[in-house]
Amino acid sequence: MKNLFLKQTYIYIIIFLSINLNSFAQVTKGESPFETERTMQEEFTKTLGSDITKATASIPVGNSINSDFYYLGPGDVLSITINPIQPYPATVQVTPSSSIIIPRFGVFNVQNMTISQAKDTILKELLKRNPNITVDISLQKARMSMVNIKGNLLFPNIYVMPSSFQVSTAINYANKINSAEISQSQFGAVNKYNELNKEKFKAFNEGKISPVSQFSSRNILLLRPDGSAISVDIEKSKINNDPSLNPYVREGDEIIIPFEKNEYPQISIAGEVNRPITLPYKRGDSVSTLLRFGYGFTQDADLNNVKLYSNNQTINLEVDKNGKLLSSDFPISEGSLIIVNSKTKPQNFQPRVVSVYGEVNNPGVYVLDDNSNLVKDVITKAGGLTKNAYLPLANIYRYNAVSDFKMDLTREFSEAFRYSNLTLEDTTRFLIDMNYPQNFVSCDFSKLFEQNDSSNNVELKTGDIVYIPSQPKEVYVFGQVKNPGFVAYVPNKTMDYYIEKAGGYSDGGIKKRARIIRGRNQIWDKPGEGVFVNAGDQVYVPREPDIPIWLQIQKWGAYAAILGAAVTFFNLLYGIYLNSIQNKKK
């Protein structure tokens, strides 16, 4: 027992000395028990910040934050640095009671405060403890808010979005298209709306004028849960970089986007500006404001020819190349218009070039002039045709903007067909022809060079490509023939010759429906006497059209009805004839 007691005593003494030596070592290193506690708080804060960061990593950020205008609310995640006591960023979250808990420093109420106001409040309190303290606060993650957006937008609804969204961003967010969430008819309507807007933008952008006013962008109403109402002017907010005219959203906000009025006062800027625009007039608008609405001048702007039209007066404005007013600013009235005129452009010579390739002696790119811009002129420049040139397949290619991609082909088709006197049966072929235009210039090289037909000596334009191919050796025969395939070309032969060489018509082949498909332009020619097949052409023999049984029944039913009507008619005539004979006998 005595030995056991001694062993336990020794163990307690060793533990006691170890604890005191460890504390002594910490003191000599400059770390007091108070600092040890702070180290533990640091680890806790870092862990908290890590958890909050992970939880909010997938949330969109929104607009850049202006600390003087962003109001804090429950759920905002902040990064706080307190020098020299806490030189590292600590992550804290605004509590449901609109407070910030800073370990070792206490609780600070930030209700109805901007980030800047919260910073000033915390700094003022901490300076009482240490006059050398500095505080820095920044928003790390914005809270999510429910915002009701209604009025003139694509999808009015209640949206959940970051409070870092300004009103303009919130509206753009509400107008975004998600094809998975809307019906096919809605999606088509939105595409049609966007296509119309694209065409209007193209027309007015090229004309450097915008007669369509952006009414809603300056007259949005923001209703706050506290009963206050804010008039949002997105346009003026952008040019002045003023978030007060385009506030950050908050929980319970109601954004009302107005519809266009029939008549309201307007102001405009047009001409050589980056954004010609017409906007609603607002009291307080000035000349410099209207100039800034144009977002600067183009390189063609004549700085000495910028005019303001207002109140039946024309005023010359002094401006610099960035669109800034050099003279004294003054208010404008409704109906004011600024026109930035363009510089007088010198008449520079613009060379016109065409490309000639294929069976010419000197293929290449050639410059046109006013005296040599016809097909024959260019072929002469290219050294003339070679002996292998095959004129029936020669072509001129020209870029055609009509063939550019269009999203809504149905709308384009409907617009082109609505005033047509064609029948409904023509619509399918018309749609095909319209959707696949050929970029060819109308020119028959055979008539031009072999018959000297001057009507085919067309004028060329820059970018045209003249192609003179060599003669192919075959004609392709396909469809309802016994041996479809390539057949050796023989000059001055009709379609019947090539069909015979392909084994003749097979079962189902209809001679009267056979056609020649021209290799030059894919046009279908009806055969006949003196209509020859050219090298590179195709001969197609279709079968009898497949008619559904129900349609055949209708057809024979119609024939029967016609026959029955004819029999009835002849019976009627015969009855009249018999009556007339009997009357004569009496």
Q: How confident is the model at residue 57 (pLDDT cuts 50, 70, 90)?
A: very low
pLDDT score recorded for residue 27 = 35
pLDDT, one tens digit per residue, over 291-314 is 999 999 999 999 999 999 999 899
- pLDDT bracket for residue 369 (50, 70, 90): confident
Does position 380 have pLDDT exceeding 70, yes or no? Answer: yes
More confident residue, 515 or 420: 515
543 has pLDDT over 60: yes
pLDDT band at 434 (very low <50, low <70, confident <90, very high): low
Do 139 and 78 touch, CB atoms closer than 8 A? Answer: yes
More confident residue, 212 or 403: 212
Least trusted range by pLDDT, from 185-189, 352-356, 400-404: 400-404
For 487, the token pair is 């057949």
The reply to whether 269-345 shares the fold of 33-142 is no
User: Does 325 or 585 have the greater pLDDT score?
Assistant: 325
What contacts 76, CB < 8 A, 6 or more positions away?
93, 94, 139, 141, 142, 143, 163
**CA 233 vs CA 147, 238, 283: distances in Å:** 18, 9, 12
Q: Look up the CATH number of domain 474-541.
A: 3.10.560.10
Looking at domain 33-142, which of 2.40.30.10, 3.40.50.980, 3.40.640.10, 3.30.1950.10 is its CATH number? 3.30.1950.10
Residue ranges per structural domain of the chain: 1-31, 33-142, 269-345, 474-541, 547-586
CA distances from 367 to 146, 381, 394, 460 (A): 65, 10, 21, 11
Quick one: average pLDDT of 368-384? 89
In whole angstroms, give the CA distance from residue 127 to residue 125. 6
Give residues with Cβ within 8 angstroms of 127, minimum separation 6.
Answer: 133
pLDDT at res. 35: 47
Residue 1, Cβ neighbours under 10 Å: how many?
Answer: 5
SS (H, E, C) 63-112: CCCCCCCCECCCCCEEEEEEECCEEEEEEEECCCCCEEEECCCEEEECCC
Nearest of 183, 142, 176 to residue 157 by alpha carbon: 176
- The predicted structure's pLDDT at residue 317: 95
For residue 31, the model assigns a pLDDT of 41
Of 7-16, 433-442, 510-519, 553-562, the range with the highest mean pLDDT is 510-519
> What pLDDT is stored for residue 53 in this prediction?
45
Residues 6+ apart with CB under 8 A from 477: 484, 485, 486, 487, 498, 499, 501, 502, 538, 539, 541
DSSP code string of 437-449 = ---B----HHHHH
**In percent, how much of the chain has pLDDT > 90?**
52
pLDDT tens-digit map of 246-281: 999 999 999 999 998 888 999 999 999 999 999 999
pLDDT at 185: 72
Lowest mean pLDDT among 140-144, 157-161, 431-435: 431-435
Higher pLDDT, 45 or 436: 436
Bigger pLDDT: 577 vs 35: 577
CB atoms within 10 A of CB 180: 5
Find where tokens 């346009």 sit.
Answer: 235
Beta bridge partners of 337: 268, 309
Q: Which of these ranges, 13-17, 326-330, 339-343, 376-380, has the smallest mean pLDDT?
A: 13-17
Collapse the DSSP code of 464 into the 3-class scheme (helix H, G, I; strand E, B; otherwise coil) and give the result.
coil
Which pLDDT tens digit goes with each residue over 180-233?
666 777 777 777 777 777 777 776 666 777 777 788 999 999 999 999 999 999
Q: How much is the mean pLDDT over the chain?
A: 82
> What is the distance between the alpha carbons of residues 231 and 213, in angstroms, rounded to a whole number?
18
pLDDT given for residue 359 in this prediction: 94
Q: Is the per-residue pLDDT at 341 higher than 70?
A: yes
Asked if 153 and 174 count as a contact pair (C-beta separation under 8 A), the reply is yes
Model confidence band, residue 59 (pLDDT cutoffs 50, 70, 90)? very low
Predicted local confidence at residue 513, as pLDDT:
86
Q: Which amino acid is at 108?
A: F
Residue 12 has pLDDT above 60, yes or no: no
* 8 Å CB contact between 374 and 352: no
Say which CATH superfamily domain 269-345 falls into.
Outer membrane lipoprotein wza domain like (3.10.560.10)
Considering only CA atoms, give the Rg of the chain.
42
CA distance 476 to 518: 11
Could you say which DSSP state residue 187 is in?
H
Taking only the tens place, the pLDDT of each residue in 70-91 is 999 999 999 999 998 888 888 9
